[in-house]
Amino acid sequence: MPQEYSGIIMLVAFFAIMYFTMIRPQKKKEKEIKAMRDSLSTGDEVITIGGIHGKVVKVSDEIVTLEMPFGKQRLEFSKWAIGSVTKKGKEKAPKEEVEETVDDKKEEDK
């Protein structure tokens, strides 16, 4: 009786291994790409799946308008055509705090 089930057990084990090595990582990557495309904002520098570099100037539900670095031309792309974000735009630079040292205070007193 156990020999009859060995073929089925091997088949189930094969599909389980395939799921964890191929299908699951692909779904995870698709989620990451979707999140990246949904988080697009003006000022981001992107590369399309066709290799075109540009800066995002407008984002709507399904269309992204890119400004090209040459000639300041604007092209519209579907969101799914954005391959990667090279630089996020509109990031606030951290404020630099200037601390007074003891030497600075002594010079002010003179």
Tell me the residue length of the chain: 110
93: its two tokens: 């630079």
Residue 103: inside a domain: no
Return the pLDDT at 34: 92
Return the pLDDT at 13: 93
Looking up residue 53, the CATH number of its domain turns out to be 2.30.30.30
Residue with tokens 């269309």: 63
Residue 102: inside a domain: no
Residue 98: inside a domain: no
Return the pLDDT at 106: 54
Residue 58: inside a domain: yes
Residue 108: inside a domain: no
How many structural domains does the chain have?
1
Residue 104: inside a domain: no
Residue 69: inside a domain: yes
For every residue of 54-71, which 3-state class applies, written as one string? EEEEEECCCEEEEECCCC
Each of the 110 residues of the chain gets a pLDDT tens digit; together they read 567 788 899 999 999 999 889 988 999 999 999 999 999 999 999 999 999 999 999 999 899 999 998 878 999 999 999 999 998 876 544 444 445 555 555 555 55
CA–CA dist 22, 43 (Å, integer): 35
Residue 110: inside a domain: no
Domain membership of residue 51 as a residue range? 2-90
